[in-house]
C-alpha cells in the first residue's frame, strides 16, 4: 500500500522521540535527519525534502515546543501540519461551468490510466445527479476507443466517438452533441504518448482551444515515481492543468509523487486511485492523507465509505434489532455485504489508527473466506437463518454439503456469530444509563485467520 515504508520509518522516529520525555535541539535535529532519509527513500523530490525538513526543524526547536509539557507530541503535530500544507491544505473539488455542459479534459502519458479514470469520474458524477458523456479522442493507441466503450458499457454511460476522425473535430462535435441533448458533463479521453513530445502537446492544445474545458485534469501513475513529477511539470508548463489525479497509489509503497506534485506544479491533487474497481477512486483530502502517512489512521474516509454503503433506514432497523437481541444470520449476511461495498477489507483496516501495529499484512485477511461464509448462510433455510439455535448436527451436515464447505467451517461460523452477538449486546448495554464500561472482547471474524 501507498506510504507503507514511509509510515513505518516515521513511526519509528516518533516512537524514539516519545521515549525521551524531554527533548533538546539535538534530539529534534537527529529525528529530522531520519525524517529526511525516510522522505528521500519514499521518492519525494529532494528539493522539497530539504525545504520541508528545514521548515519543520525551525518550528520544532522553538522554546514553546521544547519546554512544553509534551514536546514529542508537539513535534509530531508540526510534521502533520507541514505534510498537510505540502499536499495542498484543503480538499480541491471539481468545478462546474455556469453554461452547460462542463467539459473536463483528461490528459497524461500512455498507460497512466486515463481511460479507466475517465469512466470512474463519470460514474461518481452520475451519483451526484449529473448526466455525463464520455468522448473517445485517442485515435492512435490500438483498441483505445473500444476500451473506453467497454468501461462505459459496464457503467451504463454513453460514449461519443467518430473513429479515426481528427480528435479536435470529434471533441468539438461531442460538446455540441451533449448540449443539444441536455447532458451537463463532457469528459474527453485524449491520446497519450510514451513520453512528452511536441506533436502530442500541439494536439492537446488544439483540443483545449476548440472546447474551452472547465478543467484539464492530468492523470499520472504513482508507480513511475519522480518521472511522474517531471511529466506533471511538463504538462503544467506547456498545456496548463487545473488538477492532478494520481492512479495506482494502492500499488506503490513509496507514494512520493503525492508529496511532490502539488509543490512542483502549484496545482491540487483532486483524486487518487486506490484500486481497479469503479468505486476505488477517492477524493483527495490532504489532511486525511497526512494522518495516514503518520500512522494515525483515516477515520473520516471510513465514515464516508460507510455512509455510501449503508442505508440509513437499514442502520436504524439494525439498531432496534440489536437492542432487542434479535440479530440473526440474515442481518449478519447483510452487514457483511455492506462491508464489501466499502472496498477491499485490507484497505479499510489499513485506515484504522495504529494499523501498522496491527500487522494487517500478517493477519491473512482472506477475501475468499467471505464468499465461503455467504455460501454457508445461503445453504440454510429462512427458519435456520432467523434462529440458528435450531441447527442440530444433521442440519449442519446438510448445510456443509450444500455449501461445499466442511462441518468444521459451519461450526466455526456459528461460534463466531454467537461471539459477535455478545459483543454487540455489550455495545448496546454500554449505552444505557448506570452501566459501567467493561472490558470488550472482540471475536475473530470469518474472513481473518
CATH of the domain at 54: 1.20.120.140
Query: CA distances (Å), 24 to each of 11, 18, 67, 73, in order?
Result: 20, 13, 9, 14
Same domain, 360 and 317: yes
In a domain, residue 19? The reply is yes
Task: Show Cβ contacts of residue 155 under 8 Å, excluding neighbours closer than 6 positions.
Answer: 119, 122, 123, 126, 278
pLDDT band of 367, cuts 50, 70, 90:
low
Q: What average pLDDT does this structure show over 18-22? A: 78
Classify residue 22 by its DSSP letter.
S
Considering the domain architecture, whether residues 376 and 313 belong to the same structural domain is answered as yes
Beta-strand runs (E) in 101-209: 102-107, 132-137, 159-160, 185-190
Is residue 351 predicted with pLDDT exceeding 60?
A: no
pLDDT of 122-170, one tens digit each? Answer: 999 999 999 999 999 999 988 899 999 999 999 999 999 999 999 999 9
Domain boundary among 244, 279, 302: 302
Report how many domains make up the chain: 3
Residue 289 and residue 202 share a domain: yes
Same domain, 173 and 295: yes
Q: Is residue 325 part of a domain?
A: yes
Does residue 190 contact residue 105 with C-beta atoms inside 8 Å?
Answer: yes
Say yes or no: 344 and 390 in one domain.
Answer: yes
Q: How many CB atoms lie within 10 A of CB 9?
A: 17
pLDDT tens-digit readout, 67-125: 766 788 888 889 999 999 999 988 999 999 999 999 999 999 988 999 999 999 999 99
Do 140 and 214 sit in the same domain of this protein? yes
- For residue 449, being part of any structural domain is answered with no
Range of the domain at 11: 4-86
Tell me what the pLDDT averaged over the chain comes to. Answer: 83
What's the grid cell of residue 49? Answer: 525534502
Percent pLDDT > 90 in the chain is 43
User: Could you tell me if 43 and 180 lie in one domain?
Assistant: no
Quote the cell numbers at residue 194: 510514451
Say if residue 320 is in the same domain as residue 281. Answer: no
| Residues 285, 381 within the same domain | no
CATH of residue 226's domain is 3.40.50.300
Reduced to 3 states (helix: H, G, I; strand: E, B; else coil), residue 245 is strand
| 79 and 210 together in one domain | no
For residue range 35-71, list pLDDT tens digits in order.
999 999 888 888 999 999 999 998 888 767 767 667 8
Q: What pLDDT, in 10s, does the model give residues 182-233?
A: 999 999 999 988 888 888 899 999 999 999 999 999 999 988 877 888 889 8
Query: Do 268 and 403 share a domain, yes or no?
Result: no
The reply to whether 221 and 138 lie within a common domain is: yes
Amino acid at each position: 500500500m501507498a506510504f507503507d515504508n514511509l509510515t513505518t520509518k516515521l513511526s519509528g522516529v516518533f516512537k524514539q522521540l516519545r521515549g525521551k520525555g524531554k527533548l533538546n535541539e539535538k534530539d529534534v535535529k537527529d529525528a529530522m535527519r531520519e525524517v529526511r532519509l525516510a522522505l528521500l527513500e519514499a521518492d519525494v523530490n529532494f528539493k522539497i525534502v530539504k525545504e520541508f525538513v528545514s521548515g519543520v526543524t525551525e518550528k520544532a526547536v522553538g522554546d514553546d515546543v521544547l519546554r512544553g509539557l509534551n514536546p514529542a507530541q508537539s513535534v509530531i503535530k508540526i510534521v502533520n501540519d507541514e505534510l498537510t500544507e505540502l499536499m495542498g491544505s484543503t480538499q480541491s473539488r471539481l468545478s462546474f461551468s455556469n453554461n452547460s455542459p462542463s467539459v473536463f479534459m483528461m490528459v497524461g502519458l500512455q498507460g497512466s490510466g486515463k481511460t479507466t479514470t475517465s469512466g470512474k469520474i463519470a460514474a461518481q458524477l452520475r451519483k451526484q445527479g449529473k448526466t455525463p458523456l464520455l468522448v473517445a479522442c485517442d485515435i492512435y493507441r490500438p483498441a483505445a476507443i473500444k476500451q473506453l466503450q467497454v468501461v462505459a458499457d459496464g457503467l451504463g454511460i454513453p460514449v461519443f466517438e467518430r473513429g479515426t476522425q481528427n480528435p479536435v473535430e470529434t471533441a468539438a462535435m461531442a460538446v455540441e452533441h451533449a448540449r443539444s441533448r441536455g447532458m451537463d458533463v463532457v469528459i474527453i479521453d485524449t491520446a497519450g504518448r510514451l513520453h512528452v513530445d511536441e506533436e502530442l502537446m500541439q494536439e492537446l492544445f488544439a483540443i483545449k482551444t476548440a472546447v474551452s474545458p472547465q478543467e484539464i485534469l492530468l492523470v499520472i501513475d504513482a508507480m513511475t515515481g519522480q518521472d511522474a513529477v517531471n511529466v506533471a511539470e511538463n504538462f503544467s508548463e506547456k498545456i496548463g492543468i487545473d488538477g492532478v489525479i494520481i492512479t495506482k497509489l494502492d500499488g506503490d509503497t513509496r507514494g512520493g509523487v503525492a508529496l511532490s506534485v502539488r509543490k512542483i506544479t502549484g496545482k491540487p491533487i483532486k483524486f487518487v486511485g486506490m484500486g481497479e474497481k469503479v468505486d476505488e477512486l477517492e477524493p483527495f483530502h490532504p489532511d486525511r492523507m497526512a494522518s495516514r502517512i503518520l500512522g494515525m489512521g483515516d477515520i473520516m474516509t471510513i465514515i464516508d465509505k460507510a455512509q455510501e454503503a449503508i442505508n440509513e433506514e437499514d442502520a436504524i432497523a439494525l439498531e432496534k434489532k440489536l437492542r432487542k437481541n434479535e440479530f440473526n444470520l440474515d442481518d449478519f449476511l447483510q452487514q457483511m455485504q455492506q462491508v464489501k461495498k466499502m472496498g477491499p477489507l485490507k484497505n479499510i483496516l489499513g485506515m484504522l489508527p495504529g494499523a501498522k501495529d496491527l500487522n494487517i499484512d500478517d493477519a491473512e485477511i482472506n477475501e475468499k473466506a467471505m464468499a465461503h461464509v455467504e455460501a454457508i448462510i445461503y445453504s440454510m433455510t429462512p427458519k435456520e437463518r432467523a434462529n440458528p439455535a435450531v441447527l442440530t448436527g444433521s442440519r449442519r451436515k446438510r448445510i456443509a454439503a450444500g455449501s461445499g464447505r466442511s462441518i468444521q467451517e459451519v461450526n466455526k461460523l456459528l461460534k463466531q456469530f454467537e461471539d459477535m452477538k455478545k459483543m454487540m449486546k455489550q455495545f448496546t448495554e454500554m449505552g444505557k444509563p448506570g452501566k459501567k464500561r467493561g472490558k470488550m472482547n472482540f471475536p475473530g471474524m470469518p474472513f481473518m485467520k
